[in-house]
A and B are shown apart, each in its own frame.
Chain A
């Protein structure tokens, strides 16, 4: 069974640009979550999608947005990039039935560098 796939692995962007990251969940998983990982703040929850609907959102500015498609694939978008957006962005999928029965499965992440 293929794991969670994130593309691209690495991205370099300039301040002010926008970026789109992609995540393909494990087959059959309907929930996709996004996390930002930085050395200073650690892992911070961005948002979660389930069956194309945003189910929960973390404390990030509106520049961070996401969506989920009918095949459960998800994208997140960051507009007007700032230097502080440099981070590893992790996607995780689960069946969506509950944390106990279906824990999160993480991808290897997209490393975004903003210059």
Chain B
């Protein structure tokens, strides 16, 4: 079946530290991959996406590269800020599947200390 595995949190970093949140997936065919972010008390917001192998999604200093050979889509940021504190979700959308049906990882909570 299709699934997404994220590293367990919570992750606590100091401001300006480097961030990596690991995400691996299992899927039939060639999925599209996403990172969503959820701030306290809010719904999810799309952070970045990639549609095919070797694509790099980027937004707000965050990056993730679609690695087909390792079935991974790790999220990185070179210098985190306190405002990046949130829960991050990796997700996939399987080709031919329903667009509204995303498969999410369990989420990784990030806390950034000043």
What residues of chain A have their CB less than 8 Å away from a CB belonging to chain B? 4, 31-33, 42-43, 45, 48, 50, 55-56, 58, 90, 92, 94, 96-100, 102-109
**Which of B42, B51, B99 has a CB less than 8 Å from the CB of A94?**
B99
- Can you list 5 A-B pairs, Cβ within 8 angstroms, ordered by A? A4-B43, A48-B100, A99-B34, A103-B34, A104-B44
- Sample of 15 further A-B pairs with CB below 8 A, known A45-B100, A99-B99: A33-B100, A42-B105, A42-B107, A45-B103, A56-B100, A56-B101, A92-B44, A92-B100, A94-B99, A96-B99, A99-B34, A100-B49, A103-B46, A106-B45, A108-B41
Chain B contact residues: over half helix, strand or loop, or mixed? loop
- Please give me the residue from chain A that is nearest to B39 by CB atom: A108
- Which chain B residues lie closer than 8 Å to A55 at the CB level? 98, 100
- Which chain A residues lie closer than 8 Å to B36 at the CB level? 106
**Assuming the A-B contacts A42-B104, A43-B104, are A31 and B99 also in contact, with contact meaning beta carbons closer than 8 angstroms in the complex?**
yes
- Which chain A residues lie closer than 8 Å to B107 at the CB level? 42-43
User: Once the chains bind, are A90 and B43 in contact (CB under 8 Å)?
Assistant: yes
- Please give me the residue from chain A that is nearest to B31 by CB atom: A99
User: Once the chains bind, are B100 and A106 in contact (CB under 8 Å)?
Assistant: no
**Which of B43, B46, B103, B105 has a CB less than 8 Å from the CB of A109?**
B43
- Which chain A residues lie closer than 8 Å to B100 at the CB level? 31-33, 45, 48, 50, 55-56, 92, 94, 96, 104
**Assuming the A-B contacts A31-B100, A32-B100, are A103 and B106 also in contact, with contact meaning beta carbons closer than 8 angstroms in the complex?**
no
Interface size on B, residues (CB 8 A): 24
Tell me the complex Cα distance, A14–B51, Å.
44
User: Once the chains bind, are A108 and B106 in contact (CB under 8 Å)?
Assistant: no
- Which chain A residues lie closer than 8 Å to B22 at the CB level? none
**Which of A31, A43, A92, A103 has a CB less than 8 Å from the CB of B89?**
A43
User: Once the chains bind, are B43 and A42 in contact (CB under 8 Å)?
Assistant: no
> Is B93 interfacial (CB-CB < 8 Å)?
yes
Tell me the complex Cα distance, A54–B97, Å.
13
Determine how close the nearest CB of chain A comes to the CB of B29; give it in whole angstroms. 13
> Is B32 interfacial (CB-CB < 8 Å)?
yes
